[in-house]
Amino acid sequence: MFENKHRKIEVMEKVKLRTGDLRPGMYVCELDRPWLETPFLLQGFEVKDDEDIEAIAKWCKYVYIDLMRTKVIKVTIDAMTSSHCLKSPKTSFDKRDLENAKKTRKTTANLMKTFMSEIRFGQSPELELVKAPVAECVNSIISNPDVMMLMTRLRSKDSYISQHAFNVCIYSIVMGRLVGLNAQELQTLGTCGLLYDIGMLTIPEHILHKPGELTPEETTIVQKHTLDGRDILTANGEVFDGSAEVACGHHENLDGSGYPHGLKSHQLSLFCKIVSIVDRYEAITNPRPCRPASDHLSAVAILNEQINENKIDKDLTLSFIAYLGVYPQGTIVELNSGEVAIVLGTNKTQRLRPQLFIVLDVNKQPTQAFVDLAEKTVDAVGHTYRIARVCRPGDFGINLNDFSDAILEVFN
């Protein structure tokens, strides 16, 4: 329905960075002065070691790095004794925003549980009930997307299906905003994102929760969920425009190698392409019975591979990656001090130096402190204070739900 809609996507592949924040593996694509005034290569270069960083610092105060060509490199973690004062972050959402977002998330999860029971008992679910929570999701994202993005990182005891559906709904609405959809279109897209995987509810639980690899027969059963989802949504009439198409087509690839029909790019709607991208990202970063969750940067690398293989839409994917940035809200990170933190917010002018909630100190003992890396640039002895690595969800035994009340207090 919306495939021919004119859309303009602003893709940001580079970020401005002070030379003191450079580290090996980063790809420098632009300087703060003309290339000819420096001894560096005109076409850009990868930072190899600390000597490169020192050389760049002699000529430049800041540079631009290309996020898509920057490698993820492990760095040495130095011990550091630090003290932080708990202060309020400079984010735009408050306690009420977070509480409303948690309520919407819980309502959505309960609905999906109800649908699951009804479908497995052969009943027809009242799918119109999703309209209200999806509308709340749209309103929240339009007014303040950061808080809903944080909700996608919370891991609850809800089933994988209900949590996955909520996250795909949120990511889909975010991508819809990036391509300029209006509120009504966002509502439709969010509904498609919430219900696209409803066919998974027909899969026997022993297959759905199997920890090992599936047999060819089990794989066939799982892949049939696209057709089952289409049939469930079609049976509910024309209430959800485009939802049956998305349910059926979200595992199709642009090159025609997907399933169930082997459709190609020109045969897929904009909504199908959007949900396909966010479904893959969310599946990678959400734990499954057969494997643990991967970190955000690993997911970005996989999406880039699928762009190169012509599986997913390049412009849409790069727009989504650029929006998420290097450290999305809710990401667990380890600092070069040895501290472990949860990302609460980003700094638009310094995207590699976000606002953090410290939850483990240098000795990996529980603590609570807020720090804005854009303001706190060095430690007590003058060493650059920075993120050393992105952690996988669940690393260090951290569950974001355990810190939700503490995070709420930070925003008071």
Q: Tell me, what's the pLDDT at 228?
A: 93
Asked if residue 282 lies in contact with residue 330, where contact means CB atoms within 8 angstroms, the answer is no
* pLDDT at residue number 53: 85
Look up residue 372 and give its two tokens. 């804005």
Q: So what's the pLDDT on residue 166?
A: 92
Nearest-angstrom CA–CA distance, 274 and 242: 13
Kindly report, residue by residue over 242-301, the tens digit of the pLDDT. Answer: 899 999 999 999 999 999 999 999 999 999 999 999 999 999 988 776 677 788 888 999
Q: What is the pLDDT of residue 208?
A: 84
Question: What was the pLDDT predicted at 159?
Answer: 66
Those residues of the chain that have pLDDT short of 50 are 1-12, 72-90
Spatial distance between the Cα atoms of 318 and 365, rounded to a whole number of angstroms: 38
CATH for 95-324, among 3.30.70.1350, 3.40.50.261, 3.40.50.10800, 1.10.3210.10?
1.10.3210.10
